[in-house]
A and B are shown apart, each in its own frame.
Chain A
């Protein structure tokens, strides 16, 4: 999933200053799983923003709605009527959702209510951690299923560096050294010899350094 963290209400309140009709639009996929932008969080945020505006004596019409996925035009368009009535849309989706709304509704102000953080997993309730950097050229077969691009602070392909201590990364005792984990796992699997070879220099083009990426499937194109 893409983990999404809602911005602080003060920052949002500042962003919507002077706007009279606001639509807060949630997304029932990653944002809902992140507990930051699903239906319930939309309602909570609307209430909070209304209260903030009331306190300032600056009443505004703030309504909420939510769609299944803000990253697909059909679903975004389903909120079309409500979007048409609003002066501005505060999207609680990831950055892709915010931008698709901007593209579909050229005359509307679109604002981000959240920060898109990373592709990760729910470790436990209330804790999400990064797993994938979307580098476009998966190498997990060589690293025991654990990613040094997403999880090594220096993205080393031939780690661990000299800062790995007692299983922790040099940047913080709260961060596991993924190279320690890779070595432990490869040892368990009897595959430590995989690390004997020097891992070659990475092509960063599919990781986004060749410009914005796209994915085309001719067989699916209509």
Chain B
């Protein structure tokens, strides 16, 4: 075991994993995080806590993780390189390890231009792949980026993101290979709406044997309304939402129910794809739907390992 985290144990035992996402509040209320933890604790194996998601300032990811942990939920610490340099990133990894956090997701982060402080200076001292490498070095070699020794263990299960829907498509498998080589123990993908493109990407992943070197959790974003579908199709960079899906939402008498159906169908299709080790549900502002999605896709109860 690299970290001994619940997520690692479940994946290592060959069981289909479920993770979910919790965005911390734009404020100081611990209750917001605790409520999400209570809601999702029995239907997922670990919960991601986002890090100034879409470059909007929120309660820090590390604090959110501690709050979840106190609720009995295993957190996944999301960290972006947009807001921290190599000193701050390493310091937070040490702190996270000291606090008993054992999963980390290493990301670049959305550009600050999208957020609520668009004139901020972006840090980008190192990139997400170098960040993966750095955490792996901290864990496996007990050393900082500069080679100095770290006292104590850094038992982290290291994750990365992959977006099969971004361009150039031909390079997306190669980029995953770089992340795996850099140290990604698990991958959480962008939300999947375009199944044919995702399946093609997975073919490439299998050809390179990457599914045997890392655990791939397929991303899901439940759609609540036709407006949300349209917005994601037209405005969110890095997402591919087919027109048929927008039409399906538009033609439905009960869009919320349709959104659930779409999500459940997607999960069923994903279960059939070789090399998928679990799902990651990003129910932004619709966390309440997650227990139902997990239940109805036959993934309850969650295994105890």
Contacts and interface: CB of A to CB of B under 8 A. Distances in A.
B130 interface: yes
A167 B82 CA distance: 22
B122 interface: yes
B130 A163 contact: no
A154 interface: yes
Given A170-B110, A170-B238, A198-B181, A162 B126 contact: no
A166 interface: yes
A180 interface: yes
Given A170-B111, A196-B174, A154 B122 contact: yes
B213 to A, nearest CB: 15
Interface residues of A, number: 30
Given A154-B122, A156-B127, A198 B133 contact: yes
A198 B182 contact: yes
A76 B128 CA distance: 46
Contacts of B124: 154-156
**Which residue, A153, A163, A184, A200, has most C-beta atoms of chain B within 10 A?**
A163
A196 B238 contact: no
A164 B168 contact: yes
A165 interface: yes
B225 interface: no
A206 to B, nearest CB: 14
B108 A161 contact: yes
Contact of B166 (A154, A156, A161): A161
A160 B167 contact: yes
B167 A180 contact: yes
Contact of B127 (A154, A162, A163, A170): A154
A22 B53 CA distance: 50
Contacts of B167: 160, 164-167, 177, 180
Contacts of B163: 162
A196 B179 CA distance: 10
Contacts of B182: 198
B53 to A, nearest CB: 14
Given A155-B124, A198-B133, A201-B145, A160 B108 contact: no
Nearest to B127: A156
A196 B178 contact: yes
Given A170-B111, A171-B113, A198-B133, A158 B127 contact: yes
Interface of B: 82, 86, 108, 110-111, 113-114, 122, 124-130, 133-134, 145, 161-163, 166-168, 170-171, 174-175, 177-178, 181-182, 190, 237-238
The 8 closest A-B pairs by CB, nearest first: A162-B163, A170-B237, A158-B129, A163-B237, A156-B127, A162-B238, A155-B124, A162-B166
8 contacts: A155-B124, A158-B178, A161-B128, A162-B162, A165-B238, A170-B237, A183-B168, A198-B182
Given A163-B237, A164-B238, 19 more contacts: A153-B122, A154-B108, A154-B127, A158-B129, A160-B168, A160-B171, A161-B128, A162-B162, A167-B167, A170-B110, A170-B114, A171-B114, A177-B167, A180-B167, A183-B171, A184-B168, A192-B174, A196-B174, A204-B125
